[in-house]
Structure 1
Amino acid sequence: MHPAEPVDLLITPRWLIPVEPHAVTLEDHAVAVRNGRIVAVCPVTEAETRFAPAERTDLPDHVLIPGLVNLHTHAAMSLMRGIADDLPLMRWLQEAIWPAEAKHASADFVRDGTLLAAIEMLHGGITCANDMYFYPDAAADAFSQVGMRAVIGMTVIEFPTGYAADAEDYLRKGLAARDRWRGEGLLRFAFAPHAPYTVSDASFERIVQLAHELGCPVHMHLHETTHEITESIATCGQRPLARLERLGLLDTDLIAVHAVHLDLHEIETLAAHNCSIAHCPTSNMKLASGAAPIKTMLARDLRVALGTDGAASNNRLDMFQEMRHAALLAKVTTGDASAFDAHEALRSATLAGATALRMENEIGSIVAGKAADLVAVSLASPECSPCFSPASHLVYAAGREHVTHVWVDGKPRIRDNTLLWQHNKELLQRVRVWQTFLKESASSQ
């Protein structure tokens, strides 16, 4: 008999949903982890004889799932949660958000707002976020502090802010941040032009060139509102997507955020170019932007992943809520109760987002060889009992409050409902100061 193989961690949940293969739920299986990687997924009886774990975590009432991937957020905007609710997108931006950012956005603002967001996301089982905001150095520092995986957006916009003077300055500073953080294993970078209506043709062409040279994804808002499309036709003579196709953006594996207002030809065009949709159902509903046609997207093999958007327009960074809202919205808008089932929702919240970020070989499913980004969800409470289908419960019954354990790269970040980062009190004190500043500036307008 061979000696037991040493591993760092053995996790034994009641149920395990690996996401790959699709729509499979395993019982009495274990996950073995060594050096931050998944070594094996196998029956518990096999694991107990095959492995000698340094640590074992038994989860008799839990379902183990891959870490959730938030494909679109503005993490620092957590400091503006609730600052301008119940307004349509352009009024929300022009009357509230942009003026507040002009007065307060800084490296310290972004660091504290991103720390606040990262803590919220980890508590809700989000282990990877695709972020878009200013001061990427500060965002990278925040995600690194709490040990969360992130793709940091190199934001590009034409008008000046306290962060940068023009599009070229945004690019220069974003690329410098990417260079400084290149050795941090949990962090990657993407180009993040804000939207077609805030970025010029020349800037888009430069981004396309850099994206191909550096192998970075491109992540941007697109076809969020009917107003955006009407304005594009009036100023450019074509719809935003047609303009982006002309400029070569679709050949960068584009991540199109929101994509609420697409016709069938546009859906097929995005699919043909291997683009992805960052579907943000809660933000789309709250800003009255509309309901994206995700049933048609999936039927045309267009990848649909989920994002929360920022806490200023949601107001939660909660992927359990996004799974539920995505599934229910698809059903009610199509009249088809099977339009977006629980397993599809979970896949959109995990592997689809990882694939959009070109990280499908690293995260997004519980498969040997991948990073051990794992989340345990307790289904023992009365509101989750009885449980006939763990996948169904994840989408329709459970919530982020049922997340008890989170691992990122094999390291515990949440254990028994407790965040292991030790600086919560100091952060919340700083958040109260930011609240005072924002409130005073809003009242002076």
Structure 2
Amino acid sequence: MRTSQTTLGIGFGLLLSLTSSNLFAEAAPTDEALPYEAQELPLEELRTFGEVFERIKRAYVHDINDEELLDNAIRGMVTGLDPHSTYLTPEDYDELQESTQGEFGGLGLEVSSENGFIKVVTPIDDTPAARAGIRPHDLIVKINDTPVKNLPLNKSIELMRGKPDTEIRLTIMRDGADAPFELTLKRALIRVTSVKHRMLEKDYGYIRITQFQVHTGEEVVKALNKMHTDSDGQLKGVVLDLRNNPGGVLQAAAEVVDAFITQGRIVYTKGRLDNTELSFDATPSNPSHGVPLIVLINEGSASASEIVSGALQDHQRGVIMGTQSFGKGSVQTILPLGSNRGLKLTTALYYTPSGRSIQAQGVTPDIEVKPARLTPIEARLQIKEADLEGHLESGQKIVGQKSESSASLAESDYQLFEALSLLKGLQILNKSPENSTNEPTH
């Protein structure tokens, strides 16, 4: 017997060939998941439904079978609830199962529906969509020669599916653009690596989470341990990059927060059913060792990303930097139905430790830093003491020169450069006489 599954993510589109942020986490079995009190059926509305059904059967221009009509009726009933609830056909359910393996074919887009069009939540790193320059909030209005206006989202996804190395044309509307424009992309096999990490500079670490999968928490702990080892235990700060991260497994989000705090509530959920009310608390383990932390977010940071950034913000464990996040604060549960079908239904809202709901609000960064492109200004010819003939030498090595890697980072990723600069500032303050006790900065 299949069990229901609690998920966090953005829209049905990511369940299919593009990619998935709706990864599974264990929940209660189906027969315990839907208790309800018997109520009188709305007979008048059911009569209307039956009449419409019969009229379509008799008068529609083409023959249409009962199964297709009823599937469409169920789909309309569910998708009318909110952008994230969906009726899953057997094919959809199978695709959902496959997508949890972290490898799928397509473009690498996280999408939802908006006003009849496909709205891009975020492109996934190192995928055809990201390389083509598709941005969060872009609207896809045409796939090849097919307009997507009012086309069911799953049908639009099917049009974007295809074998790797085959081409597809997308017509896109973008805020600020004078007119829609076309992009030609080549489909690829999408393999999503959940966690990437590296040292930005000596003793300053960087962790990038692309989406929250089942083992993301473990991978973050491994990354922290590796960076502590590489810095000989002198790690001075970490940047946690959640930009364009569409979400994923609720449990994984809680585990990531737990890697940075040692006590207190992380997140809790509220719904109409008892088994949708969950709460996650921190454990005493401390793999981060309290190092200063900067969390980067943007408009593509959604769902589980907002759980992490919101919880760390409430605990004052790090500085949240970037731009306002997406604002998806709902939880979906996969409820198996008969005939190998399923229902992805919004069953709860989640709340940060202080009781904030992120739904349609998002996380507001502590320091707003918008994306920017730096253009270096050529310095005018200046004469310094060291240029004067007969100047005295200091007898000391020159220190504090701006590194070439730092200048390159400022040009390639301004937000990350600002995050690293703030970490360095926190380290300097931590060394000041007022902070001579060497307590970690939170």
Identify the TM-score tier after normalising by the shorter chain: under 0.3
- Which structure has more relative contact order (CA 8 Å, sep 6+)? It is 1
TM-score, L = length of structure 2: 0.28
